[in-house]
Amino acid sequence: MAEPVDPTPHPIPAIQSAPRVLLVDPYVAREDPMERKFVELYPSLGILTLSGWLRDHGIRVEVTDLTFARDAEPVTRHVRTFRPDLVGVHTKTLTMPRALEVAARARAEGVPVLAGGPDSATRPEKYLDEGFDAVVPSEGESTLVEAAKRVANGQPLAGCPGTVVRVNGRTVRGPPRPFLRNLDELPLPAWDLIDMEAYLSAWQRNTGERRAAVLTSRGCPFDCSWCSKPTFGRTYRQQSVGRVLAELAALHDRYRVDYVRFCDDVFGVDRRWLEELLGRMITDGPHLRFECLARVDLLRPDLLDRMKAAGLQRVYLGVESGSQKMLDAMSRGTRLAQIERVAASLRTHKVRQFWFLMLGYPGETLDDIEATLQLFRRFSPEEYSVSIAVPVPGTRFYETVKDRLRGRARSTRGSGGASLLYEATYPESLYRWQQVRFAWEARLHRIRERFSPEVAERLSRAADEIHERVAKPVLLGRSSGAPTDETGVVDAELPMVANRPPHEDPST
Ligand code: B12
Ligand code: SF4
């Protein structure tokens, strides 16, 4: 296989008439309460890849990354100095208020604004209502090049393939734009346009490692019923091993990166591809430590040996439930036996495991939740997140429960998973209580490891007793005197689980 040529750095074409685009990541870390507790800072790969692509296509591009800023003021300054033809904003549900502010600032300077990214892809109308000139609800590279040229040439955006715009109050969708077929055409992310050192030294201070994010594929071929895949849908495209190694080498050589998070929805869908990558990482380097999201049906024990040898430190696993019935209901396509085998094998290989668990999916009974807790107890993952199922528009899960939505405002963290958004089998307080049981179980595990297994065992039994004799009857409304919520079911005030969901969805 031919090695792809490292396409960066790209000299900016010295043509004065080249269209100018300013891309903005509106995420301000200091405003994010999660970020104060846990470091999980990576620059947006969407912004960086788009930037590299635009440069390759003769467009002058700069980036305002608000991650380390105090507010959105740098946007105004940057628009005034750079004088772009177009401002493009990356959107997530969490950052919508800031994205709207960025749009207002750009418009105040007379510059049209485009939105792209997962939140605007799910609800483009909202962004158009709030002052954006267009939304790009899918893969952005080619669409942004065409949009920039149109704007610079004074042509309308209406009808541009891959866009959604308003014309005389009507929402007009341009024809769909085909996905890029060959992901090796993508340039390396334009790391030089942001302050990479700020990210890397934040990681270094907190973990001793210089960590960066890498994406080797786009999309996911699986079909879990609650998973929302707004931008890339069910398509699946993979970069070549050579292209991935070129990116790893560039991060290592230019930025002294020594730890990589593979951000693919599912890392290593293609077994042969993964084998080749691991082999080359082991023999040729760069020798980096890494973490990834994986599916239990793909992580075979012999593969784990190779992954460990290549530097694997941590795996995120979408375990979801300890009940086969629920895994089937979610169309996970995984078996309990696979979860058990992988969890045991990761322990043997001394690879940290982060489990994603979900409560409250339709059809789940208390016995199913108990089965999940027992599985959790048996394998005691080092890290976990247990969320309450979030019906995201566009998913089969959403379609199933859309007549039972509780009409709550969307959580600003997107699929927050901390509250119940539809009328499920049990009251929200029951799920919150179950989350507390998982948190308690995780603490007991630490006691078991550090102090005394006997004490942990006794506390574990006591917790089960409290659940059976007190919590369950109270929360299911079988005792009087407890406050009830709007559905008439008992709703006790329960603490939130204090673990971090670094990611709710997709959770493989
Ligand atoms: C890696 C990742 C992370 C990493 C890195 C985050 C980062 N800085 O980008 C970490 C773990 C830190 C993270 C954190 C969070 N994440 Co996250 N993350 C992802 C993941 C798996 C990949 C993102 C990625 O790199 N994609 C690859 C790039 C190339 O795609 P892209 O960003 O979508 O960009 C393309 C298009 O959208 C479009 N585009 C994007 N922006 C723009 C702008 C313009 C102008 C245009 C024209 C086009 C355009 O073109 C791009 C190239 O084709 C996605 C799932 C996914 N498959 O996308 C979730 C995802 C983006 N995360 C999500 C969430 C909820 C979060 C958190 C809020 C979770 C939490 N509990 O804290 C935080 C937010 C933190 C933050 N900084 O914003 C949700 C967002 C849902 C939503 N509606 O907002 C997603 C979609 C997962 C999901 N399905 O729920 N995340
Ligand atoms: S949850 Fe993971 S495996 Fe399932 S469809 Fe979503 S991205 Fe794919």
- pLDDT tens readout for residues 52-65: 999 999 999 999 99
CA 318 / ligand 2 centre spacing (Å):
8
Give the domain CATH number at 457: 3.80.30.20
Nearest Cα residue to atom 74 of ligand 1:
94
CB of 163 closer than 6 A to ligand 1?
A: no
Nearest Cα residue to atom 34 of ligand 1:
46
pLDDT of residue 491: 31
Do residues 113 and 48 touch, judged by C-beta distance below 8 A?
no
Do residues 71 and 105 touch, judged by C-beta distance below 8 A?
no
pLDDT of residue 479: 42
Nearest to 503 by CA among 299, 293, 343, 334: 293
Residue 106 and residue 35 share a domain: yes
Domain boundary among 140, 173, 206: 173
CA 118 / ligand 1 centre spacing (Å):
6
Could you tell me the residue range of the domain that residue 248 belongs to?
195-480
H helices of 172-240, in order, are 196-207
Nearest Cα residue to atom 4 of ligand 2:
224
Domain contains 188: no
Domain contains 186: no
Residue 329 and residue 395 share a domain: yes
pLDDT of residue 269: 94
The pair of three-digit structure tokens given for residue 382, joined into one six-digit string: 């080092």
Residue 86 and residue 28 share a domain: yes
Angle at alpha carbon of residue 249, lines to 244 and 252, rounded to 5°:
130
Q: What is the pTM of this model?
A: 0.90
Domain contains 501: no
Q: Which atom of ligand 1 is nearest to the CA of 41?
A: 12
Instruction: Say which ligand is closest to the CA of 269.
Output: 2
Domain count, the chain: 2
Do residues 476 and 490 touch, judged by C-beta distance below 8 A?
yes
Residue 441 and residue 359 share a domain: yes
Nearest Cα residue to atom 68 of ligand 1:
413
Residue 151 and residue 75 share a domain: yes
Domain contains 189: no
CB of 266 closer than 6 A to ligand 2?
A: yes
Residue 243 and residue 130 share a domain: no
Nearest Cα residue to atom 61 of ligand 1:
118
CB of 51 closer than 6 A to ligand 2?
A: no
State the DSSP H helix or E strand holding residue 46, giving kind and residue range, or none if neither. Answer: helix 45-56
Q: Which atom of ligand 2 is nearest to the CA of 332?
A: 4
CB of 227 closer than 6 A to ligand 2?
A: yes
Domain contains 133: yes
CA 422 / ligand 2 centre spacing (Å):
22
Give the domain CATH number at 145: 3.40.50.280
pLDDT of residue 495: 29
Task: Provide the edge-to-edge strand list for the sheet that holds 60-65.
Answer: 60-65, 20-25, 86-90, 113-116, 134-136, 164-167, 170-173
Domain contains 233: yes
Residue 226 and residue 142 share a domain: no
Residue 200 and residue 304 share a domain: yes
CA 260 / ligand 1 centre spacing (Å):
17
Instruction: Say which ligand is closest to the CA of 358.
Output: 2
CB of 187 closer than 6 A to ligand 1?
A: no
Q: How far is the CA of 491 from the CAs of 103, 307, 476, in angstroms?
A: 41, 46, 9
CB of 417 closer than 6 A to ligand 2?
A: no
Domain contains 380: yes
Measured in degrees and rounded to the nearest 5, phi and psi for residue 293 equal -100, 130
CB of 263 closer than 6 A to ligand 1?
A: yes
Domain contains 141: yes
H helices of 218-364, in order, are 241-255, 271-283, 301-310, 324-329, 336-348
Q: Which atom of ligand 1 is nearest to the CA of 147?
A: 47
Low-confidence ranges of the chain (pLDDT < 50): 1-15, 409, 412-415, 479-508
Residue 135 and residue 53 share a domain: yes
Residue 101 and residue 241 share a domain: no
Residue 273 and residue 140 share a domain: no
- pLDDT tens readout for residues 389-421: 988 888 899 999 989 888 664 554 444 567 888
Bridge partner residues of 238 (DSSP):
217
The phi-psi region of residue 439 (left if phi > 0; otherwise alpha if psi is between -120 and 50; otherwise beta) is alpha
pLDDT of residue 40: 82
Instruction: Say which ligand is closest to the CA of 505.
Output: 1
Residue 199 and residue 165 share a domain: no
